[in-house]
A and B are shown apart, each in its own frame.
Chain A
């Protein structure tokens, strides 16, 4: 039945001389209306790239199961992050967002894949390229964009900005390169201490991989068998410095030495998911920490003040976009296995664009935080405190 419909649909397209994606609404609607959910493949198994392993007998499976539901969910997640980041780019260029803005487009499969593998009750901490994780950990697009534009509706009431967004079991957003890694191990220590079978995913980049505090952390995490997944998002450049120019060893998954490691294709959401599941099981089994190097790529420069083409070629960026884009990869899989239709995905795209646009509207129109709140949140659970203003007569109030 479904092949028949597919044939009809393709024939229609050939007749009208349009490609499948360009069907007019009426033609498309007729075709879609007659395809029910049962026409789609409910589940399929995909071959995924084998992971390189370090100090492990075996790695994650080389085949991944994907249901239609999951496929659509991952697609939606990645597309949302993509559109949100591009909106942030736009708002930054309009000077509505200021200061630091480190965009995540290109790396969506990492955030989506990890979140698919862990539980909401697990913990996650990352560095400053954090908007993607802020979303996957449950913060709404409008609260993220409003935080970027510094408004009272932002997740941190406008007081944190791009690098300091928080949510339950999500510890930011951290501005000091590498500092989040010991923090993540500490969160894992708390999980172990409380015996709650939760784990902590602690992310850092190829640049941070050379920070001394990482090695201090690896030592303690291994010594105490902390349930911590250390994830190196290797996007090949630490700001403007390529990995070859920064690291004596670019095998980041081996840099934990005595800690087992995996090198994972970070552009494939299924690969990331399977590896993260494998890693999470490792931790929950009490085997101690594990390192996951996700090989990924960022389309934008390091931040909005970096055009991103002085240290790499436009050709390189274009090549990744055309051959390895994480969203395209998933879309292709879904379509070629009849797990979703072009129209359906287009519908999702339209919905997401609308959501992001509405969130941007909110982020642009919401007022800035009131001056009365300037000094609040210095201390937790304390009586009100007097704070000196810019001059001795300026006595400001701080409440917890």
Chain B
């Protein structure tokens, strides 16, 4: 057990690849391997082509091809008008993006990381999220705010915060958190086509990870509905709910646990707000046990919300144990590798929590 665990942990991203090839993903025979980065790039390319009101602005998105190369090639193809490099002025350019959305365009506003969105958060919440309500439907704001969210590797406290809970708190916003390439592609296209402000939380560590993508998902009109979770793995003993990178960790844990006869159902939230509570409830009513997994801090987080919602709904009476939350450690992110590793949920933490919840 320990050996296979160590194998998974050491191989890191290769493990995901291997897991994928072993068919954790249902894929059609003529599937193609696409990294999350390329999926995002293709989604933006297609939406830029489809609707000339769509444009991208942010730091280094044009001539640098994107700080993380997510917008590679787009400036070359679409030019200055549609791919705009901004000065380092988050509050200013976020406000400009919102104003452009109010006046009929469909901007994609990139934050180099969501940590910098804090400088602009007033524009996201007060100018974008609340306006349709305050105007009683007179003024929609069709905008996407996107960028990497949460911990990366070795970037320390000021560059590692997860903003899912903060943004998901606010009515008027949709908050989306893709895990794999299919999520990234389908959800970004849906977000761009949505007439409302969407906060699109990517993950830097996932950008380079390839996934198999079905033929269907390669279609130019492939979108994934915002507000619907996906059951990535069927199971009967316990439900694991997660979003973004940690969905992969849950699947890894499930693979290990399967060998010990524990059958996990893994749900990929895909959307944080509006959350697909029905999907979680349906699963809990089947498995009677729930573990939530997230990278963000525990207090007032995604897991906390899931616990509250489960208690308020029909699934509560089906629980055989209290819900367990697996979260990031309640500290600012440290730098040293060993400290950083131990600040975030590892596969072993998920396995441990599952066993504690099941009392095995």
Contacts and interface: CB of A to CB of B under 8 A. Distances in A.
B95 interface: yes
A164 B95 contact: no
B139 interface: yes
Contact of B95 (A155, A160, A186, A380): A186
Interface in B128-167: 132-140, 142
Given A183-B127, A190-B104, A166 B139 contact: yes
A345 interface: no
A189 B93 contact: no
Contacts of A379: 132, 172, 174, 195-196
Contacts of A378: 132-133, 171-172
Contacts of A159: 133-136
B141 to A, nearest CB: 8
B134 A164 contact: yes
Interface string A178-215: 01011111111111011000001000000000001100
Interface stretch (B34-42, B67-75, B84-92, B286-294): B84-92
A189 B134 contact: no
A216 B171 contact: no
B96 A160 contact: no
Interface stretch (A168-176, A250-258, A298-306): A168-176
Contacts of B174: 379
Contacts of B87: 216, 219-220, 223
Given A189-B100, A381-B195, A382-B196, A182 B92 contact: yes
B102 interface: yes
Contact of A193 (B105, B134, B135, B171): B105
A370 interface: no
Contact of B99 (A171, A194, A219): A171
Contacts of B313: 392
Contacts of B135: 156, 159-160, 164, 166, 172, 377
Contacts of A400: 137
Contact of A185 (B99, B105, B195): B99
Nearest to B196: A379
Contacts of A377: 132-133, 135-137
Interface residues of A, number: 50
A156 B92 contact: no
A189 B137 CA distance: 23
B102 A156 contact: no
B8 interface: no
Contact of B103 (A187, A213, A382): A187
A157 B64 CA distance: 46
A216 B86 CA distance: 10
A156 B136 contact: yes
B96 A186 contact: yes
A223 B96 CA distance: 13
B99 A176 contact: no
Given A183-B99, A189-B99, A190-B104, A219 B89 contact: yes
Contacts of A187: 99-100, 102-103
Nearest to B80: A224
A123 interface: yes
Nearest to B277: A386
B134 A184 contact: no
Nearest to A214: B92
A156 to B, nearest CB: 4
Contacts of B127: 174, 176, 179, 183
Given A160-B135, A220-B87, A400-B137, A179 B126 contact: yes
24 contacts: A156-B138, A160-B136, A167-B138, A172-B134, A172-B139, A176-B127, A179-B95, A182-B99, A183-B95, A183-B99, A183-B102, A184-B99, A186-B100, A186-B101, A186-B102, A187-B99, A190-B103, A194-B104, A220-B87, A376-B136, A378-B172, A379-B132, A380-B132, A400-B137
